[in-house]
Structure 1
């Protein structure tokens, strides 16, 4: 901070005064010092007017100089007040940013502790792997049972012996029961998928909270880079099973039209 300008009225009336002390490593007047100077100037003016006698011209010059110094001091005081107001506004903004950063760190810490650590991700991967394995096993069992039923039904139509017909009928019934048993996989699969969905919803919730902290979805969209499909060849054409409302998939009618 620059050294405060010495008022001329102080030099004329009060004389030389010591320089202000260092405050926090910088030199500069504060509000109390300015007000003390203004009071001292007013007191000296009143004293000069009482004891001046015939020195009217000198007193007028002193008054004019003092008024000018007072105006300068008031302008300096207003400048300080404006700077303080700006600092207060800046502090409010910095506090908001600090709070947003702390809240975001808390959300990230929660995600890391309950979702993104190795143990939780291993559970999710294990559940999805079990879903795939269970589905494959049930499909294989159903296909084998269906094939056995088909063979038994064909043989049943060709035999005349009652005993042979009974054996084939019992085999068909066993295979039907096997199909029912294999269909139970959907219950276990549903439970496993629900566990994965719970974890995904937990992650989604905390991501949405972090987005709200920084202005919401609309504010985040402004920073999203454009999505570029870098796949090549057949991979560029494979988009998986079509869900309701999805675009970019060929319908069955489109496929049938290729063979017409």
Structure 2
């Protein structure tokens, strides 16, 4: 069952069911008429701009100052909306960059940084070190045997002994050749490791490009500080052919001149 409530006097006036009292009705004066006129204007604006209302939402009878203020306010709103649109574009770019970076990190984690792949890389490097040590030991032993056989060969005069020593030298030479095969295996293992490192490098480069490139990243990089101490600070290992900052053999010889 619907419930009806009694409408207030102001509602009846706004809805047009009751005439607006004039200035002579009791003690209602011009202030009441002004208030009612403002309420009608508010009600008209809430109902939608009727015919004859300008784009600012003011009536045609509005004063030039009101129109100018409304237009200035409208321009301010438009400028704020334009700034918000620019901000949204920038935020969309940042959001896209973050998503792309997350995808690159996910690929790296799935293809390179997980335990299985890193264990494989470590295994390959360990095999390189172990194979190199074993081959080096075999070559040194063969060279030592050749030296001993050559020394003995120069002292014996029996043809049979000379033949035995010569055959031993030949066997040791073959042993050296066999040991040198480690280079092929080492090259294959290093190629696998380099492929993994190249894969990581490519995706890291893509992430740096997402955030402005190498120069932009370097601008935020902290200064490099060498924390090594003692001999470790002086020893840098073998240098590459084009490395800078290393003393050449000519520099060392010049110190003794």
SS at the partner of 2:207?
Answer: helix
Matched, 1:149 2:146: yes
SS at the partner of 1:242?
Answer: coil
Which of structure 1's runs of 4+ aligned residues deviate more than 6 A? none
Q: Which residue of 2 aligns with 1:23?
A: none
Q: String of CA shifts for 1:213-260, please: whole Å, max 9, x gaps.
A: 111111111111111111111111100101112133332334455666
Distance in 2, matches of 1:90 and 1:196, equals 44
C-alpha distance 224-34 of structure 1, shift in aligned 2 (>3 A): farther
Q: How does 1:114-129 map to 2 (within 5 A)?
A: 114-129=111-126
Distance in 2, matches of 1:146 and 1:234, equals 33
Q: Which residue of 1 aligns with 2:39?
A: 16
Matched, 1:170 2:192: no
Q: Which residue of 2 aligns with 1:200?
A: 197
C-alpha distance 181-18 of structure 1, shift in aligned 2 (>3 A): same
Contact 1:115–1:199 at 8 Å: present in 2 too?
A: yes
Q: Which has the higher helix share?
A: 1
Superposed displacement of residue 159, structure 1:
1.2
Q: Which residue of 2 aligns with 1:225?
A: 222
Superposed displacement of residue 78, structure 1:
1.4
Q: String of CA shifts for 1:55-107, please: whole Å, max 9, x gaps.
A: xxxxxxxxxx5332222222221111111111111111110111111111111
C-alpha distance 207-35 of structure 1, shift in aligned 2 (>3 A): farther
Which residue, 210, 219, 227 being the options, matches 1:213? Answer: 210
Distance in 2, matches of 1:98 and 1:11, equals 53
What is the TM-score normalised by the length of structure 2?
0.78
Contact 2:128–2:190 at 8 Å: present in 1 too?
A: yes
Matched, 1:135 2:153: no
- Structure 2 residues not aligned, in runs of 5+: 1-32
How many pairs align? 221
Root-mean-square deviation over aligned CA pairs:
2.6
- Structure 1 residues not aligned, in runs of 5+: 1-9, 21-28, 46-64
Contact 1:149–1:175 at 8 Å: present in 2 too?
A: yes
